[in-house]
């Protein structure tokens, strides 16, 4: 068995490459103290002032194009991230989510406003997509353990045992008391498919509230492009070639005040007996989703929505996923198949420029 585990750097690069001024990979980190201006000093800068964090088992990078940003601001962002992680992490045994999971089949658990709102959002997407996005998939995620040492194909009997414990209709929410209840023992909620997107939105709101209007927020490939880049131009975002050995994008998106999130088979996976098993699980079969897709990229205004949509639409497959995405308001999707074909929703054509001859745009 061959286990493939991403390093922190590859986690950052696995979904999207930011190019055209959004990422300057050759620049050294800015000195925040030197970049803090005196009163009245010009705030627009060419190179970003940036800070990296390691939370949610991935690298979080915030790049701000404004010389007024200080260590205090970055520290406050870190506290916001730590709070979300402490409330919603499935692997943190002291988190609110862990307490909900520990009390499955026992009693409801009251959670914070923030956690309840994210759980409610996750539940709504689970119902809307008929379980293609599934907040109750935690038992299968734990069983497969993909992305961690020791990942392997579980016994079929164990998979069959856990499928009934991964059904979202056994999740009960009480908005009046902010209580979450998993009705059966052995159930586990997993917010991994939505919490990173929510976190990007929280950071963007913090920056906006503090007067910063130009930034790139990257949570392991969940990219939020705040405002415009310096000079008043749109950001150029590169969509990662699923073949990571090449490291060049298949195309570019021109965006402002939008978020781009990709779900793909190359993000977390392992190989056993010559077969690759990726991390996007189907709660009906108990196995990784098996279709002809390598990745799905979502472009929209809200990162929490993009995060949930990228997973659920990937799980739907090309035909159903494309039909579903076309019906969404203010959201576009791009599909990359295993045979290097690219399919897009109608509005994506307005912002996409293909750059890789190895890939063919099929429905421009």
The answer on whether 71 is annotated among ligand-binding residues is no
The answer on whether 193 is annotated among ligand-binding residues is yes
- DSSP state for residue 169 in the 8-state scheme: G
Q: For residue 230, what are its two tokens?
A: 């310096």
Residue identified by tokens 């927020």 is 217
Segment (H or E) for 344: strand 341-344
Distances in whole angstroms, Cα of residue 215 to Cα of each of 45, 83, 223, 287, 307: 11, 22, 10, 38, 19
Q: For residue 74, what are its two tokens?
A: 């970055």
Q: CA 286, CA 257: separation in Å to the nearest integer?
A: 37
In sequence order, the 6+-apart residues with CB closer than 8 A to the CB of 24 are 47, 48
The answer on whether 357 is annotated among ligand-binding residues is no
Q: CA 213, CA 209: separation in Å to the nearest integer?
A: 9
Segment (H or E) for 294: strand 293-300
Q: State how beta strands 341-344 and 360-361 pair.
A: parallel
Q: CA 337, CA 357: separation in Å to the nearest integer?
A: 15
Name the binding residues: 193, 307, 311
Name the binding residues for Mg(2+): 193, 307, 311
């Amino acid at each position: 068995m061959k286990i493939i585990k991403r390093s922190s750097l590859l986690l950052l690069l696995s979904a999207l490459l930011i190019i055209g001024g959004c990422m300057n990979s050759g620049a050294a980190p800015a000195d925040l103290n030197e970049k803090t201006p005196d009163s009245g000093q010009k705030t627009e800068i060419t190179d970003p002032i940036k800070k990296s964090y390691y939370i949610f088992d991935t690298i979080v990078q915030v790049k701000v194009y404004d010389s007024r940003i200080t260590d205090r601001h970055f520290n406050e962002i870190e506290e916001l991230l730590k709070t979300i992680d402490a409330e919603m992490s499935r692997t943190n045994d002291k988190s609110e989510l862990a307490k909900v999971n520990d009390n499955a089949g026992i009693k409801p658990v009251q959670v914070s406003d923030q956690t309840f709102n994210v759980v409610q959002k996750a539940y709504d997407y689970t119902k809307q997509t008929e379980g293609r996005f599934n907040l109750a998939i935690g038992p299968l995620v734990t069983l497969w353990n993909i992305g961690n040492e020791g990942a392997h194909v579980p016994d079929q009997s164990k998979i069959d045992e856990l499928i009934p414990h991964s059904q979202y209709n056994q999740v009960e929410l009480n908005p009046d008391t902010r209580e979450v209840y998993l009705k059966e023992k052995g159930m586990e909620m997993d917010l991994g498919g939505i919490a990173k997107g929510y976190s990007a939105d929280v950071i963007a709101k913090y920056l906006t509230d503090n007067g910063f209007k130009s930034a790139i927020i990257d949570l392991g490939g969940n990219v939020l492009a705040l405002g415009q880049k310096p000079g008043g131009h749109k950001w150029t975002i590169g969509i990662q070639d699923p073949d990571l050995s090449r490291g060049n994008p298949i195309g570019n998106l021109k965006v402002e005040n939008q978020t781009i999130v990709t779900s793909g088979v190359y993000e977390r996976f392992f190989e056993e007996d010559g077969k690759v098993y990726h991390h996007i699980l189907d709660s009906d079969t108990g196995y990784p989703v098996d279709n002809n897709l390598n990745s799905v990229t979502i472009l929209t205004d809200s990162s929490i929505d993009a995060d949930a949509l990228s997973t659920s639409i990937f799980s739907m497959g090309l035909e159903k996923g494309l039909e579903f995405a076309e019906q969404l308001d203010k959201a576009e999707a791009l599909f990359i198949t295993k045979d290097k074909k690219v399919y897009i929703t109608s509005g994506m054509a307005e912002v996409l420029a293909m750059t890789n001859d190895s890939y063919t745009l099929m429905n421009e």
